[in-house]
A and B are shown apart, each in its own frame.
Chain A
Amino acid sequence: MNEKQLIEGCRKGNRLAQKELYDTYSRKMMGVCLRYVSDRETAQDILQDGFVKVFTSMGSYAGIGSFEGWMRKIFVNCALEFLRKIDVLRDAVELDYTNEISGHAHSVIAEMSANELMKVVQELPAGFRTIFNMFAIEGFSHKEISEMLSITESTSRSQYTRAKQLLQRKINDLL
């Protein structure tokens, strides 16, 4: 089945189509979940939540734009929903300290594997990790992040900067 047939099958509640869609995207979406929560069991819960929402709200996908992008947003929202529940984003503090990352650091991370980078990201505190993921990986602007997380735009910026500094420090420690 191609993507269009899969979507149509899922809309009709066809279990085979749902399974195929799951098989196609589950590993990628698990990667998304694990970027937001480091605990694998929690990531599994979010993955399950996400697919249930995908299947039950398939009718709201208008067919415009990337289907994978639409799915990814659902999984990010599920992860954020979980993080809001455990209130990890409240402790975000504003920092106006910035530090340029050297060109040497660029070459180091370019040589690191995806799994190594993932591990470093997972070691970030939840608040920093969330904003880093949303800004650097998902591509949300600080304005969008501030609206989604109910924080100020400057808080989003400062948290991101702080996350970068921590990442840099962790990568340096690996060297």
Chain B
Amino acid sequence: MNQEREKRDEWENIFRRKLQNLEVETSPDDWDAIVDRLQEGKVVPTRRRWTYWAAAVLATLFIGGGVYLSLRTDSYNDTMITEQTRPDTRREVLPSPPTGFVAPESAGNQTLLAVADKQKFRQQATDVYVTPEEEALTTEVIQDTPTEDNDVETGEEIPEDTPTIDPEIQSTTAIPQADVEKPTAPARKWSFGMGMGGLTQNSGEVVNTYVLRSSNNLEDEELLAINAVSDQNMGKLPRTNIKHKMPISFGLSVNRTLNNRFSLQTGLVYSLLISDWETQASAYNNKTRQTLHFLGIPLYLSYKIAEWKRFQIYASTGAQAQLNVDGRLTVRRFSDDLQTGEAHINRRMKELQWSVSAHAGVSYPLFPYVSAFAEMGAAYYFNNGSEVETIYSDKAFNINPQIGLRLNF
């Protein structure tokens, strides 16, 4: 090369001298783009890259599985307690369907309750199996009642001044009538498999109200009627406390960089919504837990506001569509703090839950392709007309602090 270079003439030397070290101004955006690429696309050996991926997936499964299992364990524990107490409390007159829970200790209203329950159970004879022993016990309890024996026996004549309960009314608390089905629905296994995600935290809320959304008042009417006959404070409305727990979300987020500042984010988000209803009346109380599983697809446009060292401050806005893939109601009835029955009912919101939201947060790259983020967001959930009540329908606008991991491609 040197020999050839020596042959180069003056003409070439002039070009080289003038152009070799020529400096041209760069754009301020160039450095930003370089930093972005250094953070997001660090070149790492393939073997290490797979290690990172494997670690990320395992961490997600571990965290997500732990949360899910812990929630499931709580549910199983509740059921076990109920099942253990049931044999010991043979005072329970009837088997434990979702309707007609009977409290045997309240002598004043035993008969009436038995009548109401018997009427209902005759209608549900094909659905509920009553053992001969239980039938005998039922009859015995009814016959032990000092008054209205005939009425009870025949089930036909009830004094006019005795409050009666519409047999059509199916008993569960805060459950729309249409959703009350066979109570023997087993706990469904809902498969849980998600990638990296964030923990969404919504503010829980306790609402004291009597008339709930949808047809909840129907069930409360029944509870009111049951309690009214024995209640000294006749006419006093039962009080239902609603508590929506903080939704828990895990999501696989994919980030697509559009330019130095803007990027698109989408992915798949799993959300768990739990709500508790507790109807407090004088003689009987219902405790209902609603557990809904949602899968959502968000689409956000993100804007990088500033960068400090490796931290990125950003803002994003977008929309999300969530589909309720599974759900369950667990209804437990108590009498004088003694659980008298439990029922499980499938429940699902058929409508899509749409929402729009805006977030501002900070992200920090942990590994190649993986960054941690913490953000604060405000979301508005549109009314989709569903009868299923959730934190979204109760509180359409809420503030969400969110932390998690994000995959960047």
Q: Could you say which interface size class chain A belongs to?
A: 35 or more
Contact across chains for B19 and A35 when beta carbons are under 8 A apart:
yes
Which parts of A5-55 form the interface with B (CB within 8 Å)? 15, 18-19, 22, 26-28, 30-31, 34-35, 44, 47-48, 51-52, 55
Question: What's the least CB distance linking B115 to chain A, in Å?
Answer: 80
A44 in contact with B30 (CB, 8 Å): yes
Q: How far is the CA of A18 from the CA of B36 in the complex (A)?
A: 13
Asked if A117 lies at the interface with its beta carbon under 8 angstroms from chain B, I say yes
Is the CB of B81 closer than 8 A to any CB of chain A? Answer: no
Docked pose: A139 CA to B6 CA in angstroms: 10
Question: Is B12 among interface residues, defined by CB-CB distance under 8 A?
Answer: yes
Other-chain residue from B14, B22, B26 in contact with A26 (beta carbon distance below 8 A): B26
Task: Flag whether B11 is at the interface (Cβ < 8 A).
Answer: yes
Q: Given A22-B31, A48-B37, A109-B15, do A139 and B5 touch, yes or no (CB 8 Å)?
A: yes
B162 within 8 A of A: no
Are the C-beta atoms of A137 and B15 separated by less than 8 Å? yes
Please tell me if A1 contacts chain B, counting CB pairs below 8 Å.
Answer: no
Q: Check A169 for interface membership: any CB of B closer than 8 A.
A: no
A136–B26 touching, CB < 8 Å: no
> Is A27 within 8 A of B25, CB to CB?
yes
Residues of A within 8 A of B23 (CB): 27-28, 30-31
Known: A44-B27, A55-B38, A109-B11. A121 touches B1 (CB 8 A): no
Q: How far is the CA of A109 from the CA of B144 in the complex (A)?
A: 122
User: Which of B18, B25, B29, B310 contacts A114, CB < 8 Å?
Assistant: B18
Cβ of B178 within 8 Å of any chain A Cβ, yes or no, is no
With known contacts A136-B16, A141-B4, A144-B1, A27–B309 Cβ distance under 8 A: no
Distance to closest chain B CB from A128 (angstroms): 13
CA–CA, A112 and B15, complex, Å: 10
CB-nearest residue of chain B relative to A56? Answer: B43
Which residues of chain B come closer than 8 Å to A135, judged between CB atoms?
12
> Which of A27, A48, A135, A141 gathers most chain B CB within 10 Å?
A48
Asked if residues A141 and B1 are in contact (CB atoms below 8 Å), the reply is yes
Contact partners of A86 in chain B: CB under 8 A: none
Indicate if the CB atoms of A27 and B43 lie closer than 8 Å: no
- Cβ of A148 under 8 Å from chain B: no
> Is A101 an interface position by the 8 A CB rule?
yes
Q: Tell me the minimal C-beta distance from B109 to chain A in angstroms.
A: 76
In the complex, which residues of chain B have a beta carbon less than 8 angstroms from the beta carbon of A56? 38, 42-43
Q: Does A44 lie within 8 Å of B26, measured CB to CB? A: yes
Q: Does A110 contact B (CB under 8 A)?
A: yes
B207 on interface, CB distance cutoff 8 Å: no
Q: Report whether A117 and B18 are in contact in the complex, using a CB–CB cutoff of 8 Å.
A: yes
Query: B34 is contacted by which of A51, A105, A137, A142 (Cβ under 8 Å)?
Result: A51
Does any Cβ of B come within 8 Å of A140's Cβ? yes
The CA of A61 and the CA of B281, in the complex, are separated in Å by 80
Shortest B86–chain A CB gap in Å is 64
With a cutoff of 8 Å between Cβ atoms, the chain A residues found around residue B8 in the complex are 136
B21 part of interface (Cβ distance < 8 Å): yes
B77 on the interface (CB 8 Å rule)?
A: no
Give the distance to chain B from A120, nearest Cβ to Cβ, in Å.
10
> Quick one: which of A47, A57, A144 contacts B26, CB cutoff 8 A?
A47
Q: Please name all residues of chain B whose beta carbon is closer than 8 Å to the beta carbon of A28 when the two chains form the complex.
A: 21-23
Identify A34's interface contact among B1, B24, B31, CB under 8 A.
Answer: B24
Question: When the two chains form their complex, are residues A137 and B16 in contact, meaning their CB atoms are under 8 A apart?
Answer: yes
**Shortest beta-carbon distance, B25 to chain A, in Å?**
6
Residues A137 and B26 in contact, CB atoms below 8 Å apart: no
Q: Which chain B residue shows the least CB distance to A54?
A: B34
CB-CB under 8 A from B133, the residues of chain A are none
Cβ-defined contact, B26 with A30, below 8 A: yes
Binding site for A on B (CB under 8 A): 1, 4-5, 8-12, 14-16, 18-27, 29-31, 33-35, 37-38, 41-43, 309-310
Identify 25 residue pairs between A and B in the complex whose beta-carbon atoms are under 8 Å apart, listed by A's number: A15-B35, A15-B310, A22-B31, A22-B34, A26-B26, A27-B25, A28-B21, A30-B23, A30-B25, A31-B23, A44-B26, A44-B27, A48-B37, A52-B38, A56-B43, A113-B18, A117-B15, A121-B19, A137-B16, A139-B16, A140-B1, A141-B4, A141-B5, A143-B1, A144-B1
Q: Which 5 A-B pairs have the closest CB atoms?
A: A27-B23, A31-B22, A141-B1, A30-B24, A114-B18
**Chain A positions near chain B (C-beta within 8 angstroms):** 15, 18-19, 22, 26-28, 30-31, 34-35, 44, 47-48, 51-52, 55-57, 101, 105-106, 109-110, 112-115, 117-118, 121, 135-137, 139-144, 164
